């Protein structure tokens, strides 16, 4: 990273970086939420009327991936260019916004990569088992429809992309510029098999209508990388799994 580091008040990932607001909202102006007891997931729905879907939504994320239906899912085509130049700690996660020009193609529809961020432990689970970390790569199409590619991480070999992203800890509100633009391709496993389900944002306002694409093959990160990420937060930043209700998980 270069010497460029500064404090910054940043809106929540679900409101600004996922493209749901056209202008940033400073954290001081937004309703504060977190992952604790008083303002955590169990309380999100009552913190603000705009967050009601967190409590009464029927297609909420994350979910436990089990009893999935075998089907012929369309291939995912990734065309990513180096595009992550800055990384920041918004108090809820460590996130990197992405420059325009990188696409995911699904069913002939093109989604632009907008940002990626991380959760530890994982939010989605597989047969009731969580993973040490999960990356969310957030995309939107020309109509504003969202598609999130989720990648699980196991402790193992060092991940080169993560080494570029957090070379040194960032405190809440800090932003840092990377030495060279990072290519998010390094966060994706080689096999592109995936689970698919309809869900929501996993943070307030928990907006539904999000297409979730969870990669079957996990990636690895070192224990040092995992500890570094966890040390930048005040505790776990995962929303508990939500009821599947009438939804079907496809694979």
Residues identified as active-site: 92
In sequence order, which ranges of the chain are alpha helices (DSSP H)? Answer: 44-47, 53-56, 160-165, 223-231
- Return the H-helix or E-strand segment holding 117: strand 109-119
Using left for φ > 0, alpha for ψ between -120 and 50, and beta otherwise, residue 101 falls in: left
Rounded CA separation 38/36 (Å):
6
Take residue 92 and report the two structure tokens written for it.
């809820």
Residue 51 has, within 13 A of its CA and on its CB side, a CA count of 21
Sorted by sequence, the CB contacts under 8 Å of residue 161 that are 6+ apart come out as 182, 183, 184, 186, 187
**φ/ψ (deg, to 5) at 15:** -90, -50
């Amino acid at each position: 990273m270069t010497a460029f580091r500064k404090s910054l008040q940043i809106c929540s990932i679900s409101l600004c970086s996922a493209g749901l607001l056209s202008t940033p909202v400073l954290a001081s102006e937004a309703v504060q939420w977190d992952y604790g007891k008083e303002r955590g997931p169990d309380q999100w729905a009552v913190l603000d009327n705009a967050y009601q879907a967190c409590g009464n939504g029927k297609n909420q994320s994350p979910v436990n991936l089990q009893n999935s239906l075998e089907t012929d899912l369309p291939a995912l085509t990734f065309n990513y260019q180096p595009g992550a130049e800055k990384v920041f700690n918004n108090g809820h996660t460590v996130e990197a916004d992405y420059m325009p020009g990188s696409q995911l193609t699904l069913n002939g529809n093109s989604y632009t990569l907008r940002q990626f961020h991380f959760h530890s432990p994982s939010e989605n689970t597989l047969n009731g088992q969580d993973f040490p970390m999960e990356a969310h790569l957030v995309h939107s199409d020309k109509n504003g429809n969202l598609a999130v590619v989720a990648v699980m991480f196991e402790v193992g070999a060092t991940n080169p992309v993560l080494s570029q992203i957090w070379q040194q800890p960032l405190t809440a509100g800090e932003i840092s510029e990377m030495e060279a633009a990072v290519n998010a391709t390094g966060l994706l496993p080689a096999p592109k098999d995936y689970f698919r389900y309809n869900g929501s944002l996993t943070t307030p306002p928990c907006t539904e209508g999000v297409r979730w694409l969870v990669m079957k093959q996990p990636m690895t990160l070192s224990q040092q990388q995992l500890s570094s990420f966890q040390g930048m937060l005040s505790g776990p930043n995962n929303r508990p799994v939500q009821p599947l209700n009438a939804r079907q998980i496809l694979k």
